[in-house]
Amino acid sequence: MNNPKIALIGLGYVGLPLAAAFASKYHVIGFDINTKRVEELNSGFDATNELTNEQLKAVVGTSLKLTTTVADIAQCNTFIVTVPTPVTSSKSPDLTPVVKATESVAVVLKKGDTVVYESTFYPGVTEDICVPILEEKTGLKFNSDFFVGYSPERINPGDKKHTITKITKVVSGSTPETLKELSALYGSIIEAGIYEAPTIKTAEAAKVIENTQRDINIAFVNELSIIFSKMGIDTNEVLKAAGTKWNFLNFFPGLVGGHCIGVDPYYLAFKSEELGYTPEMILAGRRINDSMPTFIVSQIVKQLMKQNKNSQNASALILGATFKENCPDLRNSKVVDVHQELSEFGFQVEVYDPEADVEVFVKEYGFEKLEALPTNKYDVVILAVSHDCFKTINPKELIVNEGVVFDVKGFYKDPDFLYL
């Protein structure tokens, strides 16, 4: 691709690191509809913690320009869409962000341009939904006047080891020439190498099954934890023993949330059911993983009952609120479900998470976040997220006599605690 002029549409956990990586080689314009987000990034602050202030300042204002104005990206010839793909309250795909981003690109799309999608969705969205929008809004003809590609994002939020340039990049294009050009473009920044998928639908399918496979594997060990709890067997000890075999897959029980693993299976299931096939295993995995907050709270209530204690007005502290460790991201966090279950049993619940985004915490979930580790004692303490900053906390110092500690992540390895 001669003289690529790149626009990144969406500057979240995926778009910003990608924009910064491309900005190390090219002039890039990052576009986002969130004015506050763009202002913060322009000031050198990344609320997602994916980039340090130093990394931002190295590119912002020089090789990377950030804007909320669509007209500013009109000069670009390669548009990379990295917006989220959530689900509705009924667990159906919500393609609204992708559609709106596509409509924004259509405003400035011109002959010879290429549009690349990195968002996760079911096979067919790029060519069957996005391309028709681009054609209708511009009057341009697909694969004659403009071209498309799909290169699924593989960002792991909070992971400072497997960063964007160190993960193999799957790339696909609507024509052989487009694939070649996009492979060269991504290959100029990706150290781990490029995998060229034969079709766009293949690349879309590869991405959606990555997280679906992980969801199913975690559902299996979550179900094991339910079974073994009835037998009085320590699930983690079972998994350690089984893990001594060379081909045993190491997955561990826990809460499954976030914007990928807890969402992507519904996209594949939706398309499958649209085609007349009900994906039993995929949906069973989702049901099991979504049921874990209820199971955790039921175990806590049973333990209190053994101690002749009542959950009504009992105090509970949840350590961690984000969907994963060492990350401020609260999207689709199942800690919210734990909080709700506890509240329905009559617990007075507080949450402490120094990593979580305070504004999102209060606005999206409606309960307050403690600003400092409390000094008072609780009837129940739940370690929900294994942030590194919790390593120095001793939960026993936070509970009353004969209080209950439930270590969801197996973080503390204390025989007195409850575990999955």
Q: How confident is the model at residue 38 (pLDDT cuts 50, 70, 90)?
A: very high
The predicted-structure confidence for 106-127, as pLDDT tens digits, reads as follows 999 999 999 999 999 999 999 9
More confident residue, 219 or 308: 219
Q: Rounded to two decimals, what is the model's pTM?
A: 0.93
Average pLDDT over residues 358-368: 75
Residue 195's DSSP bridge partners are 170
CATH dotted code for 6-201: 3.40.50.720
Average pLDDT over residues 182-210: 97
pLDDT at residue number 29: 97
Share of the chain above pLDDT 90, in %: 78
pLDDT in tens, 276-334: 999 999 999 999 999 999 999 999 999 999 988 888 989 999 999 999 899 888 888 99
pLDDT digits (tens, 9 = 90+) for 136-172: 999 999 999 999 999 999 888 777 888 899 999 999 9
- Residues that are catalytic: 260
Q: How far apart are the first and last CA of the chain?
A: 51
pLDDT in tens, 250-265: 999 999 988 889 999 9
What's 214-419's CATH class? alpha beta
For the chain, give every residue range classified as CATH 3.40.50.720. 6-201, 214-419
